[in-house]
Amino acid sequence: MPVKRVKIKKSEIKRDKFVDQLSLIVEDAKVNWRKYFIILSVVVLVILGAVFMINSNKKRSIEGLAQLSEATDVLLSGNYTEAIELLNSIKSNYFGTVAAKKAVYFIGLAQLNTNKFDEAIVSFRQFLKSKTGIEDLRAAALVGVGRAYEGKQVVDSSIIAYEEVVAKYPQTVYAPEAYISLGRMYETKYEVNKAVDSYEKVMFLYPESDYAKQAEFYKNMLEGAIDPLTQMQQGKVKSGEVK
């Protein structure tokens, strides 16, 4: 009577190989136990080190955010010099944490409020480069850039910053403010139609915001002066005062 063949599965072969390899390791460990003890010790130390680093970083982050809260209180009180000192301390002592990155934004805000426009632009740009914070905070940084350029009377650069706000962050609370600022900047260039368009966008897109009433007021003021202002703008273009 022929012997019935038994089908051998690949999984069984793999399992046999694993058992053989494990047996070899066990035998090797009996002879070279010191080597395996060192390897195991290193692995344990690496794991413990990783856990320590995670806990340490978490502690630094919590401490940094607590100090950031204190620094922003000083900033809101109007003591900008002291606020900048505290924020710079957070920036250096908690480097790499969210608190340190957000501190850069608030440094820019303090610099803006002390008319240090060039420094404020650098700080706001540095914060934006870190891609930290919620969209509202990044939009606020761009508004800060726009206001700093306004302070420097660099109108075109200010317009670019405000346009970036409404293009990238239209759902933030700073978008209607950016549109109002765009209208204001276009007025300084005697581009009345663009100014009116900016104000109308606030009224249409953000009708429930506080800025909607402002926009309506500015729009009505401009519409009564469109012809004179347009003529003035054309005259300034001819004279080369504006492009």
| Segments making up each domain of the chain, as ranges | 12-239
* Residue pair 67/48 in contact by the 8 Å Cβ criterion: no
Instruction: Return the pLDDT at 228.
Output: 55
Contacts of 46 (CB under 8 A, 6+ apart): none
pLDDT one digit per residue (tens) for the chain, 243 residues: 454 444 434 444 445 555 566 566 666 656 654 554 455 444 444 443 343 344 446 788 889 899 999 999 999 999 999 999 999 999 999 988 999 999 999 999 999 999 999 999 999 999 999 888 789 999 999 999 999 999 999 999 999 999 999 999 999 999 999 999 999 999 999 898 999 999 999 999 999 989 999 999 999 888 766 655 555 555 555 566 655
Threshold 0.75, pTM exceeds: no
pLDDT given for residue 57 in this prediction: 60
Q: What is the CATH number of domain 12-239?
A: 1.25.40.10
Looking at residue 61, its pLDDT comes to: 84
Give the integer Cα–Cα distance in Å for 88 and 78.
17
* Dihedral angle of Cα 65, 69, 74, 75, to the nearest 10 degrees: 80
CA 132, 90, 81: angle at the middle one, nearest 5? 105
CA atoms within 13 A on the CB side of 18: 6
pLDDT at residue number 49: 39
pLDDT the model gives residue 96: 87
For residue 94, what are the contacts with CB-CB under 8 A and spacing of at least 6? 60, 61, 63, 64, 67, 100, 103
CB 100 within 8 A of CB 94: yes
Assigned token pair, 37: 């003890």
- 180: exposed, middle or buried (Cβ count in 10 Å: 0-12, 13-18, 19+): buried
3-state secondary structure of 95: coil
